[in-house]
Amino acid sequence: MQDRIVITGMGTVNPLGLNVKDTWENLVSGVSGVAPITLFDSTPLQVHIAAEVKGFKPENYMDAKEARRRDRFEQFAVAASREALNNSGLEITEANAGRIGVIISSAIGGLQSLQEATITNHTEGPRRVSPFLIPMLMANGGAGMTAIEFGIKGPCFSVASACASGSDGIGTALMMLRTGMIDAALTGASEATITSTGVAAFDRVGAMSRHNDNYSMTPQPFDRNRDGLVMGEGSAVLVLERESDAKARGAHIFAELAGYGATADAFHVTAPHDHGAGGAAAMKMALSSAHANIQDVGYINAHGTGTLLNDQAETRAIRAAFGELAYKTPISSTKSMTGHMMGATGALEAIFCVQAINNGVLPPTIHYETPDPECDLDYIPNKAREVKIDLAISNAFGFGGHNAVLAVRKYS
């Protein structure tokens, strides 16, 4: 019988908190992380709101000098990894360092560093561009900097599949553990795209909410009056191990990472396929990987961005995968509180699935007021729900037609 892959550590910094405990408490209380942008002057833009990480001080997690040489998304990755490792009790030694992988993904990488260097190059000349620019902007920087910080010498890389990056990275780590390529993994994702360039670019695509004056009521996933997503930032990291190894060292096991599925729509560079066939196939693949059936699923953490195309396509995908059971399966979009953390969202939402299973509480979709006839499922409106579940799935769907689904099972 194949050894189960289990979660022994979790860490995060995100708009709802600088650790897992505070984040979860705010999430189930329905707290919104959305507020006016403070990271830059948004006056020239049409969007003035975002879900920023608040109160983050990189020197609390790493050497201050090194922090100045790292992009914000890399700082987030190290911070979340430190909590996850401390949480797990996994000691990294010369003997095991080469058998531990670091798969920390990012959809975009160091956008802030790239933006600042571009301005410097044009205004002050190329000689003023930082010599640390390349390691600050490269998408694998979060993984590389984390490996350096903790002395981890196994496979180290980043997966880039837009907003599915975090889930695909975790799924890749799962497969590497199942094949015996590594004995443990530090895996998740990190993103810091709340910059003038990032906000402007997503707004030009037509994806962003412009409820600047009424920001306490946006985004509105699955609601008829939704007007788009709100950009978020942060990082989430898991420690994964084989069950036998975790038990041998006396580790606390939070849950089993039971399955992973991934597909491509092959349809459009930004829009999901309106029938949701790719998303449905990924959900079925994840459940097959977990040796589970649709009847076993007690909760779906939806991608739920708050855009018309995504919400309706995902609803169709869930109906296609679950049939009549779709109407009996609780679903929520936690992006209604965290905003859309791009590549990092799937990793954070995997943690939410673990917490939902262990606490018997399903987080709500806040800001839900007016039902959309095309979105007719149970989206856990506005208030958390106490329900004991054994299996949850997390959907992550990205630009380019990437679909990634993780299945998390109660450990016993």
Does 211 qualify as catalytic in the annotation? no
Residue 184 C-beta-side C-alpha neighbours within 13 Å? 28
Give the tokens for residue 323: 């049939």
Tell me the residue ranges of DSSP E strands in 154-297.
Answer: 156-157, 184-191, 234-242, 255-264
- Catalytic residue chosen out of the listed positions 211, 273, 303, 367: 303
Helix extents (H) in 7-104: 20-28, 64-68, 72-88
Sheet containing 299-301: which strands, arranged edge to edge?
A: 156-157, 100-105, 184-191, 234-242, 5-13, 255-264, 402-409, 391-398, 299-301, 331-332
Tell me the residue ranges of DSSP E strands in 93-233.
Answer: 100-105, 156-157, 184-191
SS3 sequence, 98-133? HHEEEEEECCCCCHHHHHHHHHHHHHCCHHHCCCCH
d(CA 398, CA 400): 6
Residue 331 C-beta-side C-alpha neighbours within 13 Å? 24
- Catalytic residue chosen out of the listed positions 156, 211, 273, 340: 340
For 95, 141, 384, the CA distances from 134, given in Å and listed in that order, are: 31, 9, 43
State in Å, rounded, how far the first CA of the chain is from the last one. Answer: 16
Does 402 qualify as catalytic in the annotation? no
- Catalytic residue chosen out of the listed positions 163, 273, 353, 402: 163
C-beta separation of 398 from 107 below 8 A: yes
d(CA 166, CA 40): 26
Give the tokens for residue 69: 């040489």
d(CA 39, CA 104): 24
Does 303 qualify as catalytic in the annotation? yes
Q: Which three-class secondary structure state does DSSP give residue 25?
A: helix
DSSP 231: B
Contacts of 18 (CB under 8 A, 6+ apart): 53, 55, 56, 79
Question: Annotated catalytic sites, by residue?
Answer: 163, 303, 340
